[in-house]
Amino acid sequence: MMAAPALTGLAVFLAVPFALAVYFSFTNRSLDSPLPTSYVGLRNYTRILTDPAFLRGLLNNAVFAAVVVPAQTGLALALAMLLNRPLRGIAVFRSVIFLPVVFPMALVAVVWTLIFAPGPNGALNAVADTLTLGNWQPVDFLNDPHWAMPAIILTSLWQGIGFQMVILLAGLQGIPGELYEAASLDRASRWQQFRHVTLPGLRSTLLFVALVTTVLAFRLFDQVYIMTSGGPDDATTTVMHQTVTAAFERQQIAKASAMTVVFFLVVLTIALIQRRTMRPERDPR
């Protein structure tokens, strides 16, 4: 009875919509077509799996996740270890690093769009020009196929690293201090303490952070929609962006539903593989 409200919410906002997506993916449903809804089998799946734009979106999602997940987790762990010290005013530094997480991604994307502004007056171009003593050539980051995705990645790292840092900081504080004292008595170096005490103690926490970061990385949409609209030349297009475009701009409900189902299976498979390869070691007792 206590779980009924949560289960009802999951059913209404997750289970039922996904079931409808599965149903519509096997039909020709389109809001701008006068034709009645009819069963078309696997035609939508065949279309999207042979569509170069959709495959490019999957590739961009994979590249983004392959960079963001290890980079964000590693940087968050470094910050957590740096801030896991009993220093005066340390709470202020923790709050400052966590602050970007509080801001909505839409606001962060707008701010970083201004930072990546083209021309010599753009903030990042101006800083690079100063650091290189005037040898920097201004770059239009968000309209350059080589720079657009790195710009999206940098924005995402800045906004999300505080979330992982807080979780890893909590995990670090849960490791008994006696283990570090015993390691020090055994003359273990800082690296040995990190390898044999910190990492084993954070195994479950790192697994959770990696899984959550992977799911969030594949859910990439806001930054792309606001900063690049999937361009230039599909350099930053993602499956989420294509799904929203198909459903709400082109009103192709069936195609968008098929994209949703395929994308769900891809993310689920990756999450299960991560869970299996990084599962916590069982207690031999």
pLDDT band at 167, cuts 50/70/90? very high
Q: 183-217: b or e for each residue (b if 16 or more CB lie within 10 Å)? A: beeeebeeeebeeebbeebbeebbbbbbbbbbbbb
**Residue type (1 letter), 169:** L
Both tokens of residue 30? 């389109």
pLDDT in tens, 171-196: 999 888 888 889 888 888 889 999 99
DSSP of 48-87: HHT-HHHHHHHHHHHHHHHHHHHHHHHHHHHHHHHH-S--
**Phi and psi of 39, rounded to 5°?**
-80, 130
Q: Which of 147, 142, 109, 144 is nearest to 223 (CA)?
A: 109
Cβ 108 vs Cβ 159: under 8 Å: yes
Distance CA 238, CA 234 (A): 8
Q: Which of 57, 239, 51, 227 is nearest to 144 (CA)?
A: 227
Cβ 183 vs Cβ 197: under 8 Å: yes
pLDDT in tens, 262-277: 999 998 898 888 778 7
pLDDT band at 24, cuts 50/70/90? very high
Distance CA 150, CA 227 (A): 12
Cβ 28 vs Cβ 254: under 8 Å: yes
Structural domains of the chain sorted by starting position, each given as residue range(s) with its CATH number in brackets: 56-239 (1.10.3720.10)
**Phi and psi of 169, rounded to 5°?**
-65, -40
Q: What is the mean pLDDT of the chain?
A: 89
Distance CA 222, CA 159 (A): 12
Q: pTM to 2 decimals?
A: 0.88
Distances (CA, A) of 48 to 44, 198, 254: 6, 45, 11
Whether 56 shows a pLDDT value over 90: the answer reads yes
3-state secondary structure of 220: coil
